[in-house]
Each structure stands twice: as C-alpha cells, then as structure tokens.
Structure 1
Amino acid sequence: MNLASHMVKSARNHPDRAVLRHEDATVSYRTLDQGSARMAGLLHDRGVKPGDRVAIMLPNVPEFAIAYFGVLRAGGIVVPMNPLLKSREVAYYLEDSGARLLFAWHAVAEEARTGADQAEAEAIVVGPGAVDELPAAGPRVEDMVDRHDDDTAVVLYTSGTTGQPKGAELTHANLIRNCDIVATELFQLTADDVIFGGLPLFHAFGQTCTLNAAVASGACLTLLPRFDAAKALEILGGHGVTVFAGVPTVFGRLLRLPGRDAHDISRLRVSLAGGAAMPVQVLHDFQAAFDCVVLEGYGLSETSPVASFNTVQAGPRPGSVGTPIRGVEMRVVDDGTEVPHGETGEIAIRGHNVMKRYWQRPEDTAAAIRDGWFYTGDLGRVDEDGYFWIVGRKKDVIIRGGYNVYPREVEDVLYEHPAVADAAVIGLPNPDLGEEVGAAVVLKPGSRTTAEDLREYVKRQVAAYKYPRKVWIADALPKGPTGKVLKRDIVPPAEPDRR
C-alpha cells in the first residue's frame, strides 16, 4: 500500500482531467503522474532509499504535489515544512527528522539554504516552471515502491506540551483511510467537484481534506498560496468551486468582504471548517450568505487529522464537532476514567487514524498514547446523542488563525535577548484570528530596550504567524509558590502596542 497509489489510479482513469489549478496554470493528472515519476527518478539518482526523509518547504503551488507524490512514489517519507520558517527553525526540522534533502520555494531560498547548511543537508530550490520541466527531463521511475500499511508516509511536526515541535509519524494506512472516509463519506466527492485549496498543504488539514481527497476522487484542487479574501472569492466564482475548506478566520473574512453579489458562487454546495473552534454565529451567517451547508469537524496532526465531523446525513449540530468518523472511537475522560455525558474532561481518541508514534521520542509517545488511546490535551464533553463539543485546552497552545503557536518556543527566543530576565507568552482574544500572540517581558536590572525592539527581535527568528504582535514591559510576572509563572493572572496593558 502506498499513499501515492490514489494519484496513479486517478491519472490512469482521468489522464486529461485537471487536477490542479493555480493562477493561470492548469495541471492535468497525466502531468502530475509524469512529474512525480521524474521526481522519484531524481531522488533515486541522489541515493534516496525507502524510509529516507525528504523535506518539502513549498507553498500551495503545483510543485508541492509533484514533490509530495514523488517522494512517496520513491518510498521516501515526506517532511512538510512551513515556507515561513526561518533558518534556525529549518535547521531544527532537518536535524530532528534526519532529512538530508530539502526542496524549497525560490522565494524562501535564503532561509532554506542557511538552515540546510546548519543541518549539513542539501537545499534544492524550486521555482515556477518545475511542472513543465520535470516531465520533460531526467529519468522517470514508473514503478511505485510498495510500502506496508504501518510504514511511515509523512512526519508532521506539531507543538506539544513541552520543548520543541515533535514529529508525528503518520503511516500510509493512517492517511489512506482518513482520506477515503473524508472523500467518500463526509463530502461525497466526485470527479466533477472543484475543491478550494487555500488550506496550507504542509498542514494535515490541507493534505488530507483537500489534496489527497481531491486526488482520490479524480477531482480538481484550485490552489491559493496565501489567503486573500478578495482573491478567494474570485476563485470561488471563477473556478466554479463546489467544496470550500478553511479555518474559522477565513470564514469571517469572506463574510466581511463587500461585493459578494458580483461573483457567481452557485456551485458551492458544502463548506468544511476545522483547525479551531468555529463561532456559531459565523457559521449561521456564512450558511445564509453563501447558501451552503457548513460542516465543522475536529482532529489533530496526530490523528491524520480527522477524528470527528458533522455530516449532512446525520444532521449537523452547530457548535459541536460532530460524531466520530467510521472506525474511530472518542471518549471524554478524567485521569483515564470516562466521565458521564455532559461532564467536561480530556478527549481521548482510538482508531485507524491515530499516529504510529512521535519521531524518535519514545517517552513523549508513551505519555500521549496509553492503552491504544491518544490523549489529545483538549477539553470537551459529549452529549446524549454522541456529539462532541470542545470547551478548552489543557495544552499550553495558542491557536492563531488556525496555526498552532507553542509559547515555550517563542519564550526561548525572547530569553536569548540580552536584556530579558523573564518572559511569558500568552494567547489574547482576537475577533478575527481567534487568538493573538502576546508577550509580557521583565527586563534585567539596568537593561534598556523597547517593546517594539523585542517584537522585531523575535520576528526575525520565527515564522510570521508566531511572533508576538503585542509585547509589553512588566515589572514582574505573577508566580506561584513553586516559582511557576501563573499565566492566567497575566493582564495585558489597556492600550495595545503599535503594530
């Protein structure tokens, strides 16, 4: 079994059908098939063997799909990386995963090369036109390396409860089954569907629910590298999108955009929301404005990602994240014991979607997966009808516009500043993004710096979605008897800092 088999099957059944649309370019299944075969040949020539990790640092462009399926075709393991990562982050991902090869987009070549050099890896810069170049040059490997169901296909890095991001090992079986359920049962995709591809493909949500689901169905994915509400609306109408996928933030931005009536969005039949809690009012307003049903679901990188979803057939319940998908169990527990319906506890998940393990982190794996159950760190409840509701998080994670930001990682950068004595990064309510990143900083005696200087310092060293937009200088941070910072007691200043 190989995740790339979906792509090859669709290429043989629909060779001339469009699979990817990006700006003015249209890529057929035949071209994707040939391009991924050339990519597999390139990897073979560079000594990549089955099980080797290959990193991809590309935005939502056709080249991502070619590289992704090319690595899988060659039997390699894909390590997707956010193109916004800075060199220090690039080096960490490469060193931790052991990836010796990185395919990076031309616009981020400097950060990619610097990080690759630090990790003693090779960065191959990819630019527009690779779709046309790969099918016409180099060796082509038609045969697909067969992989066992339990072989790792993708290592997705996700923030945990402590330390640096951890790599969740998702197997071919994890991803194939999750994709098939999404495509056939949840959204009932056909080759006539056009899926909006604005979700980042380096993220599990984008990979499973847009790229892999589209390819498995012979459908078309229309790509948007960077979300822009006006451009998204133009794509919805101009490309005849039938399925829209996004995090709650983008639903709100589309609702606030004037001029919707100028675009024909009549083909849109269903929208799927995930990545963060969806405000019920936004859900209702979007359904009314766009005349389509909105289905909210729940999952994590560690669950491939879909664990539960509302469905049209069962009747969606606004505000809930639906019921577990086929083959998956969910329960609400307190110290491992299931709690009664309606009571709050930690959500635990068991099923074919749960990751194999964290990459080279046996202790973290043992802490997260106990007796076959993956403990999510998210707090929720389940009603009498089996619908789950997310009420909060145990993990110290900020979700900014659907992206997870782990405070410890940002705090570590702040502590590297020579003037910083103490720092705490917290999530601040934001009507557009859900949460914004804020940082309270205590300076060393006699040191001088400004909030703006600290913000710019962090901005230079982490991805754009991670750095704190709001930074303030505090006299001290509230702490408990053991010296632990009490983040719940941190109060930001009344007037926000200038952006």
Structure 2
Amino acid sequence: MTTRYVLRELNRYPLGTFADIIYRNAILHPDSEAFVYGSERVSFKQFNERVNRLIHGLHALGIQKGDIIGILSWNQLEYPEVFGAAMKGGFVLAHYNPRLHAKELVHVINDSEPRVLFLGPELVETIDGILKQLPKTEYFLSFGDVQGQIKAYKGMLEGQPIEEPDTRVTEEDPLTIFYTSGTTGMPRGAIYKHRQKMENTCMKALDIGVEFGNRHLVVLPMFHIGGDSHIWPFFLKGGCNVIMPVPFDLADALRAIQEEQITDIHIVPTQLVSLINLPDIDKYDHQCLKRIWYAASPMPTEILKQGLSVFGSKFIQGYGLTESGPDVTVLSKENHHFPEESTDAQSVLASCGRPCVGVHVRIVDDDGRDVEVGKIGEIVVQSKRIMTGYYHRPEETKETIRDGWLYTGDLGYYDEKGYIYIADRKKDMIISGGENVYPIEVENVLYRHPAVKEVAVIGVPDPYWIERVHALVVLKENAQTSEEDIIDFCKEHIAKYKSPKTVEFVDDLPKNPQGKILKREIRSKYQE
C-alpha cells in the first residue's frame, strides 16, 4: 500500500502563483466542475491534465519559460487552458482583440512578437491573410479548422503526457500582456507578473464575496482584462465558470442561469439594457443569482432602476482600467437601492464606489497635490496589483507610474464618506458597448478621406450602446460625400466598433484662440 503525503503534494509549486492554485485544486477538488462550455464539462483534475499536455506540447515545439505566446480568440474552453499553460509553464501570454481590423492586428502582434499564436476558428481566415506580415511568429495553432501554415491545436496535444512539467515559475516572473488603446490611438501592452495577477484575484474574490461552489456565467470577452479578471476568483475558490460564446444570445444566457444555477454574472450596461428589455424574461427563473457585477462604462440611473425592479438588489459596480489590474473601486450591493426619501442613497449610485481592499486612491491637482473634498482632480492609484509597465515602452511607463502611483488620466472627485465620482474620462475616451474607443484614432482615419477638411469625434448618449461614436465633419470646399461613405471608409481601416455609427456634417467646429477644437463645448450640446 502506497502512503500519500497530501500536504507535501500541495507544496509542489511556489506560493503567489496560479501554478500553485491549478495544481492545488486538482488535488483538493478533483471531481468538481471547473469549466463548462456547451456540452463539455471539465473538472479541476481534467483541467490540470489538459494544461500539462499543452505545456509539454509547447516544449516539443521548443517553446520555453519566458517565451511569449499569443491568443486571438473569442470565448471558448481552450482560452483558459492556454492561460493555464502560461501560469504553470512560465510562458507570457499576450491577449489580442478579435474585433481589431487586420491592419491593427499586425501592429499588436508584431509589438509583442509571440513565438506561437493560438487562434479561434473564426480568426483563421483573417490571420491567413496577414501571415507574411508576422515574421516573428513561428507557429499558428487553430482551435478549429486548419489552413495552410495554420495547424491544429488538438493535433499538437496528441500523445503528450499529463504528468507535471519540470518548469518552475516564481511570483516575480512576467505572466501576461493585456492590450489597451493609448491616448495616441496606438495599442499598448500592459504587462503583469504572477504576483500581481494573484493579488488582484484574491482581492476581487474578497470584494465579490466568492464562496466554494459558486457558479459564474462568463459573458464578457476573455481577451479584455475585465472579462478575464472575473474568471479566476471563482477558479481560486473552487467555483465553476460557465462559458458563453461571444456574442451571446440573451435567451441562451437566461436559460443557462436557470439550468446551471448561476450565482454570478459580470456584464456591461449595454447587455443589461438588452436583458431587461427581453419580452419573455419572466419565463426564466433567475432567483439563483446572488450578484450582478457591472463595469466598463457608467450605468444610467434609469437603466439601473429597471434592473433593480427585475433582478432585485444584487448589483455591484466596479471601476478600473487595464493598467490598474483592473479593480480600483467597488460600489457594493448595499448601496444599490432607491429609497424615495433618501437623496443620499441615490447620489451614491452616481459614484463608482470606494477603494477596493488593498488599493489606495488619491485625487490630485496638476502639481500632484491632494485636492479637497468635492474638488475635481486626476484619479491616481497605488496597489500591489497595478501593471509592471507598458511592454517595450519605458518612457510611457515613467509618465504613467510616478513614485509608485498610477496616473489614470481620469478626472474625478470624492465626497466626505470616501465615495469617488468620475467627472470626465481619460483623454475624451468613448466607451461604446463596453469597448474603449479613442477619438484621435478615428479622427486620424477620417482625415485620410479625400473630402474631409476637419473632424471631431465624440461619444453621444445612446439608448442601446450607452455611448455611440459620433463624427462631426467639415468638408473641403466643393467636396461631396455621404454619411454611409464616411462610415464605410472607416470600416476599411479600423475595427467596426470604433467606426462612427452616425455622422453630422457641419460648416465649422468651435475652437479656442489657439485653434484647438473645443470638444467639451461640442459634447455639451448632446448632453443637454
């Protein structure tokens, strides 16, 4: 009879790493469900074995600890497997947004230069068309169909062992790169270590109140740090992540909530609008839901009222950004109610909450001095979970992280109880359907149109998108074009979600004496 030393087995991987958590859960909760995707159900033991196979398969290709691997995919079961392989194998995983235009994908992929690129089946044709522009990427592995140089993911795993790999990671090793648009419109990679990922996961589990057995419906894209950051707290606590395809069908999501007994869901306001307006929402039992976390853009009060009437006081709001890990503040369930006699409670709902556990927040003026209660300044953040820096951009890193404080570029103020309110967003950024759009990137494309003389791109209120991308265009003398032509022109050069949804032709744009276009004045017209 063989004696098992369970405690010694649990000590195999270093603390402060997800290698430890993946292995630990495989031992402590081997048969509990870790992930569900359609008809596939994967236990913690099976997940660990699949991750091990992938690590051995990558080693067979010559990929070693510290090498960058990339993933371009919508949500599916293989996505967390690839991240798990990075966590245990010491690879650095770069996430790419499938919504990007092919030209933009060339930029971000070549920026991080992954040796291997994992592809969702919908992206095979796109990548096949730009293969020659990706000289540093040696292997292309598809989760579905294969084409030319793009080989099968499953084929690489065949015959690989399930035994633990020899690679050892430490909490100070780099783990992952999430791309975020820069204020110049060029995507920048925010790089995180194992320690920072673990810190964020543990603190988020605490803020949410995750317990063993909780079940999370994954509807946000995993390539965004916001979507990814909600998966691992449930994994950490032995919960289950039920993955929905992106984009997901609303009725399917409600059916999954009922059938899978979902306790948690993380959405953006646009998705809540769609859910509460679904005609047959009452057909589905959603009483199992304990928490509905929303983020990515402000939630209009009227929509929140409707959400509360349908789902009850189950809402939690989070504020953060890619560079912050992401969580900075949280507005708890206890704050989400509408007592008619309490104006204080309603005003708090206009806030983004108070600092999360393990996060320090200051509001500072242009000289870096703390401002008084109620005064607007820049939100700066300090925590152990903020990014290490921008990948290959030391000067931009120094500008963003100063003396240990992350300068968000977001303007806000705080009240006497410590609630933080966003006054304006980073560099005029638009948040449309949960996606960040930087006007300058859209404007740069529009200025290439032969009929355009001047342009200003802003976000305007929209009942579905919350904000939509709106372009004000001044045409060159005697030039002619149409709204449809302008929009189609943008779609040829940038992602569809970044392209204007509406175009307004104007004679001129308001400017200050220095000739700078006054966007605040333009926006005010649409917010009246």
Q: TM-score, with normalisation over the residues of structure 2?
A: 0.86
Give the partner amino acid of 1:441: V
Pick closer, same or farther for the CA change 1:7–1:416 going to 2, 3 Å: farther
Instruction: Quote how far apart the aligned CAs of 1:493 are.
Output: 11
Matched residue, 1:322:
353
SS state of the match for residue 50, structure 1? coil
What is residue 350 of structure 1 aligned with on the other side?
A: 382
Partner residue in 1 for 2:129: 114
Secondary structure at the aligned position of 2:461 is classed as strand
Structure 1 residues 288-313: Cα deviation after superposition (integer angstroms, max 9, x where no partner): 31134211121111111111113358
The answer as to whether partners of 1:32 and 1:65 remain within 8 angstroms in 2 is no
173-182 vs 283-292, which moves further: 283-292
Amino acid across the alignment from 2:232: N
CA contact (8 A) 2:269 2:294 kept: yes
1:123 corresponds to: 140
| Higher mean C-alpha displacement, 274-283 vs 446-455 | 446-455
Q: Verify: 1:372 aligned to 2:404, yes or no.
A: yes
CA distance in 2, matches of 1:48, 1:478: 55
Which amino acid in 1 is paired with 2:389? R
Query: Which of 289, 304, 307 pairs up with 1:283?
Result: 304
Task: Indicate whether 1:363 and 2:380 are aligned.
Answer: no
Of residues 236, 245, 248, the one that matches 2:257 is: 236
Equivalent of residue 190 in structure 2, options 158, 168, 192:
168
Find the counterpart in structure 2 of residue 497 from structure 1: none
Deviation at 1:135, TM superposition (A): 6.1
**Candidates 277, 280, 283, aligned match of 1:256:** 277
Secondary structure at the counterpart of residue 465 of structure 1 = helix
C-alpha distance in structure 2 between counterparts of 1:16 and 1:81, whole Å: 32
Distance 1:213 1:61, change over 3 A: same
Q: Does 1:19 align with 2:39?
A: no
Whole-angstrom distance in 2 between the partners of 1:64 and 1:27: 13
Using a 3 Å threshold, how does the CA distance of structure 1 residues 481 and 144 change in structure 2: closer, same or farther? farther
Question: Is there any run of 5+ residues in structure 1 with no aligned partner, and where?
Answer: 495-499
Deviations 1:109-168 (A, max 9, x none): 122233443121243222289897776533556226333333321111112222401111
Q: Report which stretch shifted further, 318-327 or 363-372.
A: 318-327
Contact 1:149 1:171 (8 Å CA) reproduced: yes
Structure 1 residue 339 displacement after superposition: 0.9
Deviations 1:24-50 (A, max 9, x none): 222222232222212212222222232
Q: Deviations over 1:452-491 (max 9, x none)?
A: 1221122233223211111234444443333333333448
Q: Tell whether the 8 Å contact from 2:452 to 2:473 is kept in structure 1 after alignment.
A: yes
Residue aligning to 1:223: 243
Q: Secondary structure at the match of 1:338?
A: coil
Query: Residues 412 and 50 of structure 1: is their aligned pair in 2 closer, same or farther, counting only changes over 3 Å?
Result: farther
Tell me the distance in 2 between the aligned counterparts of 1:388 and 1:447: 47
Mapped to 1, the partners of 2:98 and 2:352 lie a distance apart of: 29
Q: Deviations over 1:338-365 (max 9, x none)?
A: 1112222111100112111111112211
1:446 Cα deviation after fit:
5.3
Q: Secondary structure of 1:395's match?
A: helix
Q: Distance in 2 between matches of 1:365 and 1:141?
A: 39
Partner residue of 1:471 out of 487, 490, 503:
503
Higher-Rg member (1/2): 2
State the SS of the aligned residue for 1:348: strand
Distance 1:99 1:271 in 2: 35
Q: Are 1:195 and 2:216 counterparts?
A: yes
Alpha-carbon separation, structure 1, partners of 2:26 and 2:334: 31
Distance 1:186 1:144, change over 3 A: farther
Identity of aligned residues (%): 35
Deviates more, 1:192-201 or 1:464-473: 464-473
- Residue of structure 1 equivalent to 2:362: 331
CA separation of 1:67 and 1:425: change in aligned 2, threshold 3 A: same
Q: Secondary structure at the match of 2:24?
A: helix
| Amino acid of the structure 2 residue aligned with 1:118 | Q
8 Å CA contact retained: 2:203, 2:358 = no
| 163-172 vs 447-456, which moves further | 447-456
2:467 and 2:211 mapped to 1: Cα distance? 36
Asked whether the equivalents of residues 189 and 217 of structure 1 are also in contact (C-alpha less than 8 Å), the reply is: yes
Residue 273 (structure 1) aligns with:
294
Instruction: Report the count of equivalent residues.
Output: 492
- For 1:264, what is the secondary structure of its paired residue? coil
Cα pair distance change 1:483/1:315, threshold 3 Å: closer
Task: State the SS of the aligned residue for 2:497.
Answer: coil
For 1:414 and 1:334, how far apart are their aligned partners in 2?
Answer: 34
Q: How does 1:290-439 map to 2 (within 5 A)?
A: 290-312=311-333, 317-335=348-366, 336-439=368-471
Q: CA deviation at 1:442?
A: 3.6
Q: Which residue identity does 1:472 align to in structure 2?
A: E
In structure 2, which of residues 56, 64, 68 is the aligned counterpart of residue 41 of structure 1?
Answer: 56
Q: Which amino acid aligns with 1:138?
A: Q
Report if the CA contact (8 A) 1:358-1:364 is conserved.
Answer: yes
Higher mean displacement: 277-286 or 104-113: 277-286
Alignment-mate amino acid for residue 137 of structure 1 = G
Question: Which moved further from structure 2: 23-32 or 93-102?
Answer: 23-32
Whole-angstrom distance in 2 between the partners of 1:25 and 1:161 = 41
How far apart in 1 are the matches of 2:145 and 2:330? 36
TM-score by structure 1 length? Answer: 0.91
1:309–1:321: 8 Å Cα contact kept in structure 2?
A: yes
**1:32 equivalent in alignment to 2:47:** yes
Is the Cα contact below 8 Å between 1:35 and 1:131 reproduced in 2?
no
| Shift in alpha-carbon separation, 1:417–1:47, aligned structure 2, 3 A | farther
The answer on whether the counterparts of 2:380 and 2:407 sit within 8 Å (CA) in structure 1 is: yes
Shift of 1:99: 1.9
Cα distance in 1 for residues equivalent to 2:448 and 2:210: 49
Provide closer, same or farther for how the CA distance between residues 292 and 12 of structure 1 changes in structure 2, counting only shifts above 3 A: farther
Find the aligned partners of 2:468 and 2:514 in 1 and give their Cα distance: 28
Q: Which amino acid aligns with 2:388?
A: K
The root-mean-square deviation of aligned C-alpha atoms, in Å, is: 2.6
Contact 1:296–1:320 (CA<8 Å) still a contact in 2?
no
